[in-house]
Amino acid sequence: MGCTVIVGGAFGDEGKGKIISHVAFKNNPKIAVRGGVGPNAGHTVVVGGRTLKLRMLPSAVVNDKIELMIGAGVLVDPQILTKEIQETHSEDRTTVDYKSALIEPKHIEMDRQGYLKDKIGTTGTGTGPANSDRIMRSGRLAKDESSISKYVGDVALKVNHALDSDADVLVEGTQGTLLSLYHGTYPFVTSKDVSASAICSDVGIGPKKVTDVIAVFKSYFTRVGAGPLEGELSAEETVSRGWQEYGSVTGRLRRAAPFDYELAKRSIMLNSANKLALTKLDVIFPKCQGVREYKKLTEDAKKFVEELESRLGVPVVYIGTGPDADHIIDRNG
Ligand code: IMP
Ligand code: MG
């Protein structure tokens, strides 16, 4: 495994949490470290029927042997972080980089009105205004916040030490490449780049240390908030196909469209993804629910996966067939 980076290939909500929870149990990395924007992300992980929704901690929290870290590039909301640490009993294994910047109440207030709310349709979690203060070099950092002082440390150093001693590190991206401030559908994007390079930079990992980049795609596309979505279905059509989903942070009905090969291809290029994970195959092909062996998929489902691999030119190594961490086909050897 070495240094494996898992990123969202589309508009977020690709099911990264589910893939990460499987990899966390299977590969037992020493460290899981989260990059990305901040608590605007919501990762859902289901283990043994129990559902966890995570906005700050790495999704690998499900394996209690893994050290959990949050990179310097990630915005920290101290209240959400503290709550998640308490709920998951991970006080003794969590480190937040001392240079992570803080989300303050004023940032949340600014994110819930005017242009950001009405035109962009942000998640209202304060991330854009907090990144703006950081760029103005006026924001406070994690090392300045006493309520989280016991979790603060040098994440970049710990992660690089681990990699230099050949330990495995799982790097968790958030959002999706098409929401990147640089490469996405500007201005309908998040407040930072979120491609694999940016996720590594959030943590302090240089490009030569990365072993694999896995881009996660859902079997159809969804998007919350404003911005273009090619082939968008009506709300009725979305429901009749059983593709309806509600945002895990905002509760909004996600807009849905069929899988977009052109955008997926571009996303793979931007991330230099060498492996893919495909989630929710069971939503498109209900007979595949819970299947764990590739050969047991129906013919039409296999055809879908094979067409995807041949058109995108990258192997699909994980296939999600249901919500639980072990509803998965693992072809990653
Ligand atoms: P912000 O990141 O809250 O500023 O929101 C900007 C845009 O990105 C909005 O369309 C949000 O719905 C979208 N967005 C941000 N984070 C996520 C995510 O984790 N999943 C899906 N959409 C997201
Ligand atoms: Mg989400």
Give 18-53 as a 3 state SS string.
HHHHHHHHHHCCCEEEECCCCCCCCEEEEECCEEEE
Calculate what percentage of the chain has a pLDDT beyond 90.
93
Would residue 119 be called left, alpha or beta, if left means φ above 0 and alpha means ψ between -120 and 50 degrees? Answer: alpha
Whether 324 has a pLDDT exceeding 90, the answer reads no
The pTM (predicted TM-score) of the whole model is: 0.97
**Ligand 1 contact, 104 CB (< 6 A):** no
Residue 35 tokens, joined: 């990059």
Looking at 6-20, 225-239, 240-254, which range is the least confident one? 240-254
Residue 178 tokens, joined: 């098409």
How far does residue 57's CA lie from ligand 1's centre (Å)? 17
pLDDT band at 252 (very low <50, low <70, confident <90, very high): confident
Whether 302 has a pLDDT exceeding 80, the answer reads yes
Give the tens place of pLDDT for each residue, 277-290. Answer: 999 999 999 999 99
Q: Where are the domains of the chain?
A: 3-330
Which ligand is located closest to the Cα atom of residue 40? 1
**Ligand 1 contact, 122 CB (< 6 A):** yes
How far does residue 251's CA lie from ligand 2's centre (Å)? 11
pLDDT, average across residues 5-18: 96
Residue 113 tokens, joined: 């009105």
pLDDT at 294: 98
Pocket probe mutation, ligand 1, options 6, 14, 37, 40, max atoms within 8 Å of Cβ: 40
d(CA 302, CA 281): 10
Architecture of domain 3-330 in this structure: 3-Layer(aba) Sandwich (3.40)
pLDDT at 278: 98
Would residue 133 be called left, alpha or beta, if left means φ above 0 and alpha means ψ between -120 and 50 degrees? Answer: alpha
Whether 137 has a pLDDT exceeding 80, the answer reads yes
pLDDT at 49: 84
Give the tens place of pLDDT for each residue, 28-77. Answer: 999 999 999 999 999 988 888 889 999 999 999 999 999 999 999 999 99
pLDDT at 249: 82
Which ligand is located closest to the Cα atom of residue 10? 1
Phi, psi at 91, each rounded to 5°: -55, -40
d(CA 128, CA 37): 9
pLDDT at 101: 98
pLDDT band at 186 (very low <50, low <70, confident <90, very high): very high
Give the tens place of pLDDT for each residue, 85-109. Answer: 999 999 999 999 999 999 999 999 9
Q: Which residues are designated catalytic?
A: 13, 43
* DSSP class per residue in 65-126: TSEEEE-TTS-B-HHHHHHHHHHTT-GGGEEEETTPBBP-HHHHHHHTSHHIIIII---SSS
d(CA 155, CA 161): 10
pLDDT, average across residues 145-169: 98
pLDDT, average across residues 240-252: 90
Question: Beta 275-279 vs 50-54: how paired, if at all?
Answer: unpaired
pLDDT at 297: 98
pLDDT at 179: 98
pLDDT at 193: 98
pLDDT at 50: 86
Mean pLDDT of the chain: 96
**Ligand 1 contact, 179 CB (< 6 A):** yes
Query: Which ligand 1 atom sits closest to the C-alpha of 224?
Result: 12
How far does residue 107's CA lie from ligand 1's centre (Å)? 15
pLDDT, average across residues 124-129: 98
How far does residue 194's CA lie from ligand 1's centre (Å)? 11
pLDDT at 55: 97
pLDDT at 325: 83
